[in-house]
Amino acid sequence: MRVKLQLVICNDEGHEETVTDVITLNKNNQRLEQLGLTLAEAKQLLSTLQRHLLQHQVATFLDTRSTCAACGALLKIKAHASRSFRTLFGTFTLDSPRLEHCDCTRHQTSSFRPLSALLPESVAPELLYMEAKWSSLVSYGMSLDALKDFPHSTALRGGAFHLLIESHPR
């Protein structure tokens, strides 16, 4: 059996904007261990969904910030960059352009990164919560091993996790 999962993103009016193939699985139904999703398939599915959803949400957010709020003029891109964002479902690289302010009003700076307003931190609050929760329940080594079962385990950094434990008093 072939299973194809798609992500359909609709606008606020309910019209389809994008249809993206997320994952295609070839599933056999002849053995118990082949039924349903495996942990590896679930991790891949969640990571892929998170990547597509984040990219769409960030692009939509940046589109709303790409014009001057005062006059409506399109803002010029001063530089292109990217930034990492760690979530419970993986670490993702997001586009983060630097835009020049419009000349119609005075600003303290000549340019800004709109994504900084949406993402003041590079780690999702949910991931910080789970890391803090696990670190408070069991020892450092056991927490690190247990967190490897989460989908973000490829992005888990022992040093960052160690600093997190030291910064949260018990």
Buried b / exposed e along 83-95 (16+ C-beta atoms within 10 A): eebbbbbbbbebe
pLDDT of res. 168: 46
pLDDT of res. 145: 75
pLDDT of res. 166: 46
- Residue of 155, 164, 160, 157 whose CA lies nearest to 51: 155
Secondary structure (3-state) at 127: helix
pLDDT of res. 139: 78
Question: How confident is the chain (170 residues) per 10-residue block, as mean pLDDT?
Answer: 90 87 84 82 90 94 93 94 92 95 91 94 91 79 72 50 45
pLDDT of res. 170: 45
Secondary structure (3-state) at 156: coil
pLDDT of res. 159: 46
Residues 6+ apart with CB under 8 A from 45: 5, 22, 23, 37
Alpha carbon distance 53, 166 (integer Å):
33
Q: What separation in angstroms does the CA of 37 have from each of 4, 43, 48?
A: 13, 10, 15
- Note the pTM of the prediction, 2 decimals: 0.75
Which 8-state DSSP code applies to residue 75?
P
